[in-house]
Amino acid sequence: MAAVTASPAVRVRRIAGVVVLLVILAIVLYPLLWMVGTTLKSPQEIGSNLSIFPQQVTWQNFADGWNGLPGITFDRFFVNSTLIAALVVVANMASCLVTAYALARLRFPLRRLWFAIMIGTLLLPQHVLIVPQYVLFRTFGWINTPLPLVIPKLLATEAFFVFLMVQFMRGIPRELDDAAKIDGCSPYGVFRHVILPLSRPALVTTAIFSFIWTWNDFFTQLVYLNDPTTYTIPVALRTFLDSSGSNQIGPMFAMAVLSLLPVFLFFLAFQRLLVEGINTSGLKG
């Protein structure tokens, strides 16, 4: 950057800007650093030492937290959360892709109406549906199984991703479809040979956000998973909080940190993609 000509006043303002940003960043990151630091402190130190850094590092909190709930260890909750998140990722990718293909590329009666309804469901709070869906899934015997959390995703109810993929597919040149059609492709062939391979970026974005949202989700998991053996991490953490006094902060924080680790790793690996996902469709973080 050609900053040679910058006047002193401009330079001062620039430095002031960076300093302000650093102060805000310190405030923003403090809770996270405090959380991580606390997990490494001994119980006595948690009460007395309130700085971020532990005086003496101990890993005991992780062992205590892992066995923190009576009868079940945290590996069970990790398996449950991972299974549900993985199923939701696959379900969202498949169902939203085919729906988006129809809405973005195919001409059929009432397409505009369906598109408008799809956009409308974006604004529909899930809380309206929770009671009747609970009644419905209960009659199916689906309580305490992953099915109420996964089957709706298989039916493309996550309209955000449909919208994201429609937007993405509109950017794929139509000439490619036409060329494939001239070569004798049916609409299914165009999907298979043109849209599916070219939609990979949108699919990756969908997969990452599906994972993070499902991993962090609490409301639906709280409603549908009532048996401790079926608990996911958020529900288990909540039970932890309920059953323990304040002297259990270390083990609880240790499990909280572990629960955030996958999301954090996704963040490190894909932060550019995540930020772009926000930009293209206003996806919530």
Partner 1 sequence: MAVTTSPAPTAPPRTPPKRRKPPRREAIAGYVFMSPWLLGLLAITAIPMLYSLYLSFTDFDLLGSPDWVGFANYKRMFTGDPQYWHAVVVTVLFAVISVPLKLAAALGVALLLNRKRRGTGIFRALFYLPSLLGSSVALAIVWQAMFGGSGAFNAFLRIFGIHGEPWVNDPNTALGTLVLLAVWQFGAPMVIFLAGLKQIPQDLYEAADVDGAGRLRQLVNITLPILSPVIFFNLVLELIHGFQGFTAAFVISNGTGGPTDSTMLYTLYLYLRGFGDFQMGYASAMAWVFVLAIGLLTAIIFSTGRMWVHYSDAGEQ
Question: Minimum Å distance from CB 32 to partner 1?
Answer: 7
Looking at 75, 175, 227, 242, which residue binds partner 1 (CB under 8 A)? 242
Question: Minimum Å distance from CB 180 to partner 1?
Answer: 13
Question: Minimum Å distance from CB 215 to partner 1?
Answer: 8
Are 281 and 160 spatial neighbours (Cβ–Cβ below 8 Å)? yes
Binding to partner 1 (CB under 8 A) within 170-199 occurs at 186-188, 191
Is 30 a residue that touches partner 1 (CB under 8 A)?
yes
In terms of CB distance, is 21 or 57 closer to partner 1? 21
Looking at 65, 87, 249, 251, which residue binds partner 1 (CB under 8 A)? 249
In terms of CB distance, is 52 or 86 closer to partner 1? 52
Nearest-angstrom CA–CA distance, 256 and 23: 26
Nearest-angstrom CA–CA distance, 174 and 226: 49
Question: Minimum Å distance from CB 160 to partner 1?
Answer: 11
Alpha carbons within 13 A on the beta-carbon side of 126: 12
Is 237 a residue that touches partner 1 (CB under 8 A)?
yes
Looking at 196, 223, 262, 273, which residue binds partner 1 (CB under 8 A)? 223
Question: Minimum Å distance from CB 121 to partner 1?
Answer: 6
Looking at 43, 260, 262, 273, which residue binds partner 1 (CB under 8 A)? 260
DSSP conformation letters of 132-175: HHHHHHHHTT-TTSSHHHHHHHHTT--HHHHHHHHHHHHTS-HH
Residue tagged 């990722």 (tokens): 89
Is 247 a residue that touches partner 1 (CB under 8 A)?
no
Task: Using alpha carbons, list the distances in angstroms from residue 262 to 32, 75, 208, 270.
Answer: 15, 14, 11, 12
Q: Is the four-CA dihedral 191, 192, 198, 200 of positive or negative sign?
A: positive
In terms of CB distance, is 62 or 191 closer to partner 1? 191
Is 44 a residue that touches partner 1 (CB under 8 A)?
no
Binding to partner 1 (CB under 8 A) within 53-92 occurs at none
85 to 124: interface string for partner 1, x by CB under 8 A: ----------x--xx-xxx--xxxxxxx-x--xx--x-xx
Residues touching partner 1: how many (CB under 8 A)? Answer: 95
Is 284 a residue that touches partner 1 (CB under 8 A)?
yes
